[in-house]
Amino acid sequence: MSIRSKFLAKWGENLMRNHDSELALNMFDRAIKADPKELKAYLGKAGIYVGRGNAEEAIEILNQAIEANPEYYTVLQEAKQGIPDYIKNGTNQ
């Protein structure tokens, strides 16, 4: 992974902590554009969508992460399976 993609993904994480999800999504997209294998950017994007209660979008992002990082298939597949229950139970509140 490139230094640029790591920097952009870290910037996105910091923005998430500061509750600026729109700008964080932008940084994650830029990180993925800089390096399509930037796993932290995919996870950050999925986390934002989970926080918004949008399971379908979060799962789609994790599908993209699997395509870019097939070596993490099992872990990402498990994460995808837990998203609907997490949102349904209101634990993302």
Q: What single letter denotes the amino acid at residue 38?
A: E
Average pLDDT, the chain: 93
pLDDT score of 91? 55
The angle, 0 to 180 degrees and rounded to 10, between the axes of the packed helices 3-17 and 21-34 is 170
pLDDT tens digits, 64-81: 999 999 999 999 999 999
Residue 23 banded pLDDT, cuts 50, 70, 90: very high
Q: What is the DSSP string of 18-87?
A: TT-HHHHHHHHHHHHHH-TT-HHHHHHHHHHHHHTT-HHHHHHHHHHHHHH-GGGHHHHHHHHHHHHHHH
Looking at the predicted structure, is the pLDDT value of residue 90 above 60?
yes
Residue 86 banded pLDDT, cuts 50, 70, 90: confident
pLDDT score of 56? 95
Q: Identify the structural domains of the chain with CATH numbers, from first to last.
A: 3-88 (1.25.40.10)
Model-level pTM?
0.89
